[in-house]
A and B are shown apart, each in its own frame.
Chain A
Amino acid sequence: MVFEQLTGNLFQGLVLGAVYGMATMGLSLIFGVLKVVNVGHGAFVMVGAFITFWLFSALGVNPIFAIPVAFVIGLGLGLFFYYTVIQRLIKAPELATLLATFSIGVLLQEVVKLIFGSEFRGYNWTVGKIDLGLTVLPVSKLLASLGSVGIAVLLYIWFNRTRAGSAMRSVVEDSEGARVCGVNVGAAYAWSFALGIGLTVTSGVLLTMFIPVGINPYMGGGYTLKAFVIAVLGGLSSPYGAFFGGLVFGLIENGSYTLFALLPGVEPFALTRFLSFLILLIILLIRPTGLLTRK
């Protein structure tokens, strides 16, 4: 019984993990290229969630179509914040970008709170359920998960098969070398930041499929923490590492929740959140460059 429940939950964890992974790729991309830690990450996830909510409840737009809208808005936000803030801080002490991205996150929260208020919101997109043997899964969750994998694959192709993508990769590996080879490093920075934010906002769309009534201006904080756990699992500067980190994290989260629920006298939900923090500290202690990376 417990075993069946565990395998079912682990499978669900894998489904959610793909979305988590996709939701962290933007964070890793930005760190990899610009060496900027986007401490406001979760707020961009939140923006994606509100775009989905608003499109669905005000205009009746299918959440699937919210994906391109969120991506384009994310690109726009990314370019805007890059040129107004980040670009001016590239050479400043690290503290400056940490505090700036943090403040950008706060700003987004407050703007969304001004527009939508601070109560929890949700929307109801029912497309049925599907029995996968191990567990019964709402089709919406399955679509979000498959969508995440699809986006990760598209990103892989874009990185490896296009000129812009390989320019960006060369900046990750050696920004001075790339400059010498004629890559416009400034543009690569701007578009990497924009792409990273675009991916993050898009992930907010997909995440709403898992949180029926959890859309709130302050929902991002939890995702920032999760994203950091995932990013250090997979290596902070590798978007693919982040994707696999997400899968691992999904498994850990659902697996530990199932096991904690068996313990008497504890609150499994809170303990699971504590565990993710503990994992973050342990990885940072033993291998800050990430567990899934080669040396």
Chain B
Amino acid sequence: MKNQVTKYYPMLPVLAAYAALFLIGRNMSGMWQLVAMLLFYCALGQAFNIFLGMTGYVDFGYVAFMGVGTYGMALAISRLAHIEGLGAGIIVIGFVLAVLMSTMLSIAVGAVALRLRGAYFAIATIGVNEGFRFLIEGARIWNGSEGIIFTAQLNQILGREAASALATFWADLFVLIIAVAAALVTLIYMRSKIGYALTALREDEDAAKVMGINVTKFKIIAFITSASFAGLVGASSWALKTPYVFPPEVFEIHYTIEAIIIVLLGGAGTLLGPLVGGLIYGISKYYLSIFIPGFQLLIFAPIIIVIIVVFPEGVVGMLKAKTRNTAAGRFIV
């Protein structure tokens, strides 16, 4: 039994870090905005890591799941606003719809792409975000390129004050909860057969198969899990903070790039990596934007290339190797 508890020790630094972020944001004036941004990047990293880090497959169209999640929340609020008595329950419906839609898209994409190996998988995913964006715009689904604006509905249901509190505080708190949940799921996977199967298939897919591992099944589990967290991030960090959704914005490949940077920087496949990567990237972006606004990728692109070539294990990966078999190592996973 004690063994079962010690297995989850690595959640302690994760919880401590998120608690510290929350307290800093609440208690130091003017810090909440920065904290909110950091939470967004950490959550994005935690979610993306479940697929990229654990399977070793890269989904270049990942932002599409955030996009449809945003649409899930937007559709729930804009289409159900007229129903009396839903109140804040509409947000819950929005989250459910966001998860459903991102899961469905991930099943559709996964059904094709996850049959393919390595490079072909990457090629199949590279257009998912653009493809879905152009489907929405081209076939004029959900208002097509005009997007959905639901500020009025949100104000009508919750009242102006609550809607504003939702955008400036509650949405960010939801992101924090999503980040913690994604980290917890990552650790649960790592400690279960799922995690061992994913490690095996990431290292040698053919050997994993003859060891009795149904690689497609485990890839799909990781893909859907990762996608549904992305949907939740989109629904709260985008839809609830800024009550509108435009296809070119929510399917912008820029966010896939940021997710890749965060995961690689922190250490792909580690629990703490996305948190560390998210903090480094978010803080750098925040301060870089003061000196050279909009050019953080100019700095990070070469950094990432160096990381891939020189230390592909990332910051936490290196720490993990250093602390292996030490007391600290029990907490760093």
* A–B interface present (Cβ within 8 A): yes
Contact residues of A with B, CB < 8 Å? 31, 35, 37, 39, 85, 88-89, 92-96, 98-100, 102-104, 106-107, 109-111, 113-114, 221-222, 224-225, 228-229, 232, 236, 260, 265-274, 276-278, 280-281, 284-285, 288
Closest to B268 in A: A95
Cβ contacts under 8 Å, B295 to chain A:
110, 113-114
Asked whether A100 lies within 8 Å of B308 as measured between CB atoms, the reply is yes
Query: Residue B145 at the A interface, CB < 8 A?
Result: yes
Asked whether A102 lies within 8 Å of B312 as measured between CB atoms, the reply is no
Contact of B124 among A88, A266, A284 (CB under 8 A): A284
Least CB distance from B65 to A in Å reads: 16
Least CB distance from A119 to B in Å reads: 13
Cβ contacts under 8 Å, A267 to chain B:
137-138, 140, 144-145
Cβ contacts under 8 Å, A106 to chain B:
257, 297, 301
Cβ contacts under 8 Å, A232 to chain B:
123
Contact of B126 among A96, A224, A268 (CB under 8 A): A224
Q: How far is the CA of A109 from the CA of B295 in the complex (A)?
A: 11
Contact of A89 among B113, B139, B145, B308 (CB under 8 A): B308
Asked whether A94 lies within 8 Å of B127 as measured between CB atoms, the reply is no
Cβ contacts under 8 Å, B134 to chain A:
270-271, 273-274, 277
Q: Which of B38-46, B56-64, B149-157, B171-179 contacts A (4 or more CB under 8 A)?
A: B56-64
Contact of A228 among B126, B135, B301, B312 (CB under 8 A): B126
Cβ contacts under 8 Å, A110 to chain B:
295, 297-298, 301
Asked whether B56 lies within 8 Å of A95 as measured between CB atoms, the reply is yes
Asked whether A277 lies within 8 Å of B127 as measured between CB atoms, the reply is yes
Cβ contacts under 8 Å, B140 to chain A:
265-267
Contact of A284 among B120, B139, B253 (CB under 8 A): B120
Closest to A281 in B: B112
Known contacts A39-B126, A274-B134, A277-B134; is A98 also within 8 Å of B139 by CB?
A: no
Give the dominant DSSP class at B's interface: helix
Asked whether A103 lies within 8 Å of B308 as measured between CB atoms, the reply is yes
Q: How far is the CA of A99 from the CA of B116 in the complex (A)?
A: 18
Closest to A226 in B: B127
Asked whether A288 lies within 8 Å of B116 as measured between CB atoms, the reply is yes
Query: Residue B89 at the A interface, CB < 8 A?
Result: no
Least CB distance from B108 to A in Å reads: 9
Contact of B253 among A98, A221, A285 (CB under 8 A): A221
Query: Residue B25 at the A interface, CB < 8 A?
Result: no
Cβ contacts under 8 Å, B119 to chain A:
31, 35, 37, 94, 98
Known contacts A95-B58, A274-B138; is A103 also within 8 Å of B304 by CB?
A: yes
22 A-B residue pairs with Cβ-Cβ distance under 8 Å, sorted by A, are A35-B119, A37-B122, A37-B123, A89-B308, A103-B301, A104-B301, A104-B305, A106-B301, A107-B302, A228-B126, A229-B127, A232-B123, A260-B138, A271-B134, A271-B138, A274-B135, A277-B127, A280-B123, A281-B113, A284-B120, A288-B116, A288-B120
Q: How far is the CA of A260 from the CA of B139 in the complex (A)?
A: 10
Least CB distance from B121 to A in Å reads: 9
Cβ contacts under 8 Å, B127 to chain A:
225, 228-229, 276-277, 280
Known: A103-B304, A277-B134, A288-B116. 5 other contacts (CB 8 A): A99-B260, A99-B304, A104-B305, A113-B295, A236-B123
Contact of B309 among A88, A113, A260, A266 (CB under 8 A): A88
Closest to B301 in A: A107
Query: Residue B324 at the A interface, CB < 8 A?
Result: no
Cβ contacts under 8 Å, B301 to chain A:
103-104, 106-107, 110
Cβ contacts under 8 Å, A268 to chain B:
138
Asked whether B123 lies within 8 Å of A284 as measured between CB atoms, the reply is yes
Cβ contacts under 8 Å, B126 to chain A:
39, 224-225, 228
| Binary A-proximity of B53-89 (CB < 8 A = 1, otherwise 0) | 0001110100000000000000000000000000000
Cβ contacts under 8 Å, A260 to chain B:
138
| Binary A-proximity of B279-301 (CB < 8 A = 1, otherwise 0) | 00000000000000001011001
Q: How far is the CA of A232 from the CA of B59 in the complex (A)?
A: 18
Cβ contacts under 8 Å, B120 to chain A:
284, 288
Least CB distance from B314 to A in Å reads: 12
Q: How far is the CA of A99 from the CA of B131 in the complex (A)?
A: 21
